[in-house]
Copies of this chain bind each other. A is one copy, B any other.
Amino acid sequence: MLIVGERINTSRKRVRRAVEARDAEFIQKEAWLQVETGATMVDVNAGTSVKNEVDDLKWLVEVVQEAVDVPLCIDSPNAKAIEEALKLHKNGRPMINSITAEKARMDEIIPLVKENDTLVVALCMGESGPPSSAADRVKNATAMKEGLEAAGVPLDRAYFDPVIFPASTDGSAPMAAVECIRTIMTEFGGAHTTCGLSNVSYGLPKRNHLNRAFLALVLQAGIDGVIIDPTEPDMMSTLLATRVLLGRDEFCMNYITAEREGKL
């Protein structure tokens, strides 16, 4: 199970300030805290600064790697920034976040996936904008699957992300995403799925209730990668509990061990 910690993103004001001020200590604490609470990969995103993104992202990669030894998820709309960041990556197999079903985007990013033997988030956005139904999402996923196969990238390098929209703006969106995950896990041999699940609760109060329930639902659909804030209360406990219920934790050993270690 891949658990990507999402906190190091300059869309968060405190992270943006820390990046601007080159406050390595703050960033390293964020990285450490996420790994300590369960992240197996750390996302780095400096996308809010178009002008300095390349330098900012390179700096993030370097300072995060000084603090933790998990691989990084290089999160950028900018192929140049991704390429530069990958040159500095040291620990394990990195992930590129992301390609979409847009041809221009695939043409730019898939060669980087191939050359650097990385994982890649395949975000189910299409040429014509955001997907609406589960079928739309699967159609976009299929286009990316074909693009990856044509380039000779094994499908098990891809984590398909159905694109999570807020339940507050479209009540059918969460289940459309869940259905897309289920279809890909059933029909795309070897592929993985992931999602940035906290988007689901955007605009609603007490988001933790929604995030935790949605985590249970996507896990049941077969998701094997999540992009979460592992420091959010009880997210990791919900993940461990759901895996018990799904019969994916033999003798409940991971759950019981986490409890003994005071992590539930």
Give residues in A with beta carbon < 8 Å to B: 167-168, 171-172, 174-175, 178, 200, 204-206, 209-210, 212-214, 216-217, 220, 234, 237-238, 240-242, 244-247, 249-252, 255-256, 259, 264
Contacts and interface: CB of A to CB of B under 8 A. Distances in A.
A234 B247 contact: no
A172 B206 contact: no
A255 B171 contact: no
Nearest to A250: B171
A171 B216 contact: no
A213 B200 contact: no
A245 B206 contact: no
Contact of A245 (B213, B241, B255): B213
A56 to B, nearest CB: 35
Contact of A246 (B175, B241, B252, B264): B175
SS class, residues of chain A in contact with chain B: helix
B247 A175 contact: yes
6 closest A-B pairs by beta carbon, nearest first, are A209-B241, A216-B216, A171-B247, A213-B216, A205-B259, A174-B245
A206 B213 CA distance: 17
Contact of A252 (B167, B178, B213, B251): B167
Contacts of A168: 252
A244 B171 contact: yes
Contacts of A252: 167-168, 171, 204
B255 A204 contact: yes
Contacts of A217: 216-217, 220, 242, 245
A213 B241 CA distance: 7
Contact of A174 (B214, B234, B247): B247
B213 A238 contact: yes
Contact of A210 (B174, B210, B212, B245): B245
Given A172-B247, A220-B220, A209 B240 contact: yes
Given A213-B216, A238-B213, A249 B206 contact: no
A219 to B, nearest CB: 8
Of A206, A213, A217, A249, most B-chain CB atoms within 10 Å: A213
